[in-house]
Structure formats: structure tokens, C-alpha cells
Amino acid sequence: MSNSGMKQRLHDDMTAALKARDDIRKSTLRMALTAVTKAEVAGKEARELSDAEILDVLGSEAKKRRESVIAYREAGRAELADKEQAEADILAEYLPTQLTAAEIAALVTETIAATGAADLGPRGIGKVMGALQPKVKGKADGGAVSAEVKRQLGA
């Protein structure tokens, strides 16, 4: 079926959820596999995604769910928010552990020192973010990282 261990794991877990009659897990994993397949056929020619690319797709899907939870809660639709939260929780099982605020702050401090951006003030944001992105990709929300960089650089 696939060379990708992550895709195979998603497929195997979906099969297990199907057998266990776990509807929310089954539908969430089916949606995730559909998103992966869409990403594989996007572009000029179909190709198989690497595990890292599959993690990017899953991260994007999880972010959509988190944003939906906020929107549904603000609209007073608790039942829909709970469903989206359950889906986000299932997707989170496949993603790397997220960094805490303290870990993000420490990484930002270390990167500012390494890049010498402290002297640049707010103009150093791009330099710091460029150096930070490979370290935090998939492990932290970009908005949270950006906010911490701006806070430490006084922007």
C-alpha cells in the first residue's frame, strides 16, 4: 500500500477503530487519510508524501480543529466544539509533543543570542524567526513563537 510508516499507522488505527465501533476515531482518521491523499495528488503529478510531510498535513488539520473549537465556543455551540476538540485530541496523538511556553521562551532567548538580533530590536524579528522555524516546526504554534520573539525583542 505505502512506503510511509505514518500513513500505514493511520490506516491500521482506522481499521482498529472500525472494528471497535469507535465512530469519532474512525471518522477523524478517515478525514486525516483523505487530507493526506489530497496532498499527495495536489500539484502537477501525484507523489507519495514522506512521514514529515504527513505530519505537516496532520498539524494543519489539527490547527483547523483548534480554530473551530474557539469559533464554536464563541458562537455558543458547545456540542460542535466538543466534537472538534475530540478530533483535535485524536490528531494530537500522531503529532510531536508540543513545546511549553517556557520551552519556547528559552529557545527564543537562545536563538536571539546566537543570531545577535538583540542589537537590532524589532528589525531582528525576521532573522530570529528564520533561525527558529526549523527548531520549532510541528512542535509549536507559529503565532505563539512569533509573539514571544516580539516580546523579547521589544516590538
Q: What is the CATH number of the domain that holds 128?
A: 1.10.10.410
User: For residue 98, what pLDDT band results from cuts at 50, 70 and 90?
Assistant: confident
Residues 52, 19 share a domain: yes
- At residue 1, the pLDDT reads 44
CATH code at position 74: 1.10.1510.10
Owner of C-alpha cell 527564543: 108
Residues 76, 23 share a domain: yes
Q: Give the separation between CA 93 and CA 49, rounded to whole angstroms.
A: 19
Q: What is the pTM of this model?
A: 0.74
User: For residue 73, what pLDDT band results from cuts at 50, 70 and 90?
Assistant: very high
Residues 83, 11 share a domain: yes
Quick check: 74 and 48 in contact, CB under 8 A? no
Residues 107, 89 share a domain: no
Quick check: 56 and 94 in contact, CB under 8 A? no
Q: What is the pLDDT of residues 102-140, one digit of tens each?
A: 888 888 888 888 888 777 777 888 888 888 888 888 788
Residues 108, 71 share a domain: no
When divided into structural domains, the chain yields a total of 2
Residues 82, 107 share a domain: no
- Comparing 75-79, 88-92, 101-105, 115-119, the range with the smallest average pLDDT is 115-119
The residue range of the domain holding 28 is: 5-93
From the CB of residue 151, how many other CB atoms can be counted at a distance below 10 Å?
11
Residues 9, 50 share a domain: yes
b vs e for 12-45, b when ≥16 Cβ sit within 10 Å of the residue's Cβ? ebbeebeeeebeebbbbbebbbebbeebbeeeee
List CB contacts of 136: < 8 A, sequence separation 6 or more: 99, 104, 107, 142, 145
